[in-house]
Amino acid sequence: MRKDKVFKIVLLLSGFLIVALLSGIFLSLVFSSIPSIKEFGINFLFSKDWDPINNKFGAFPFLIGTLLTSVISLLISIPFSLSISIFLSEILKNKLISNIFQTFVELIAGIPSVIVGLWGLFILAPFMRTLQSKLGIQPIGVGIFTASIILSIMIIPYSASIGKEVISMVPIEVKEGAISLGATEFETLKSVTLPFSFNGIFAGFLLSFGRAFGETMAVTMVIGNANKIPESIFSAGQTMASLIANEFTEATTKLYTSSLIEIGLILFIVSILINILGRLIIRRFSF
């Protein structure tokens, strides 16, 4: 019986390990950000100077870059991921074809982000360049918009699979009620299924937004890496994640490293809030 006791203690401690790990991550980030927090305070978020030579750091351009890319990519992804969710749960009745299709969707999420970035840099960016010169915009190819397209490709599988789950959970009786009243499939979807699963679908979008927010490699390769506030959605920019990827190993002074870590801390806090909120909504939905 002593072995049983030890075993139970190990199990309980393993749970504590996760608590310790996350608290450790948070505390380390906060602790290492202190020099930067002390120096710049709240102004760090609103200052647009990122000037390593004069030791002046402000995160505003990267906050804007991150918000722009993740919001645009979310907007692009919505019609696609919603369509997949509906297609898989309501329209495709053949189980085999539905499985194959879903596997394709999930494989997109399985492609390493550096390869998506490589494709973006050498295939999509030249294509965007031609498109931009036809539209009369300065043809740089890379930039905020190209990064958003890449991101939307990468986040579609997440919101699509969550959307499919929650739409499949809508009780069949509710839908049958609408159909027996003479509603078409579209009307059933619009007035019964979607309102019923709205919270879950919203959570899916929220979580995929969180993904886009923190995605690094693919964005770093196609965003153009310009440390300024983008003038338009076609100009080059920088996100918080791509800034860290580009400059962390080059950071020479303590304040420089600390500022980059503070940006990491912001990424951490935002992604944690998004994740907890999203999971709570989904969990309430599935009960």
Q: Taking CB under 8 A as the criterion, which residues in 102-121 touch other proteins? A: 103-108, 110-119, 121
> Closest separation between CB of residue 241 and other proteins, Å?
5
Cα–Cα nearest to 166, from 79, 89, 101, 94:
89
> Closest separation between CB of residue 94 and other proteins, Å?
14
For other proteins, which stretch binds (CB under 8 A), given 20-28, 41-49, 54-62, 167-175? Answer: 20-28
Single-letter amino acid code for the residue at 97: I
Residue with tokens 């950000």: 33
- Say how far apart CA 190 and CA 102 lie, in whole Å: 23
CA–CA distance from 138 to each of 73, 131, 135, 236 (Å)? 21, 10, 9, 11
- 198 is a site residue for other proteins (CB under 8 A): no
DSSP 52: G
> Closest separation between CB of residue 148 and other proteins, Å?
14
- 122 is a site residue for other proteins (CB under 8 A): yes
The residue among 114 and 174 lying less far from other proteins, judged by its C-beta, is 114
Choosing from 63, 74, 128, 153, the residue that interacts with other proteins (CB under 8 A) is 153
> Closest separation between CB of residue 121 and other proteins, Å?
6
The residue among 10 and 54 lying less far from other proteins, judged by its C-beta, is 10
Residue with tokens 């930039």: 143
The residue among 50 and 262 lying less far from other proteins, judged by its C-beta, is 262
Sign of torsion, CA 218 224 228 234?
Answer: negative
- 191 is a site residue for other proteins (CB under 8 A): no
- Say how far apart CA 182 and CA 143 lie, in whole Å: 49
- 160 is a site residue for other proteins (CB under 8 A): yes
DSSP 225: -
Choosing from 35, 61, 210, 237, the residue that interacts with other proteins (CB under 8 A) is 210
Question: What are φ and ψ of residue 138, in 5° steps?
Answer: -55, 115
Choosing from 59, 63, 84, 255, the residue that interacts with other proteins (CB under 8 A) is 84
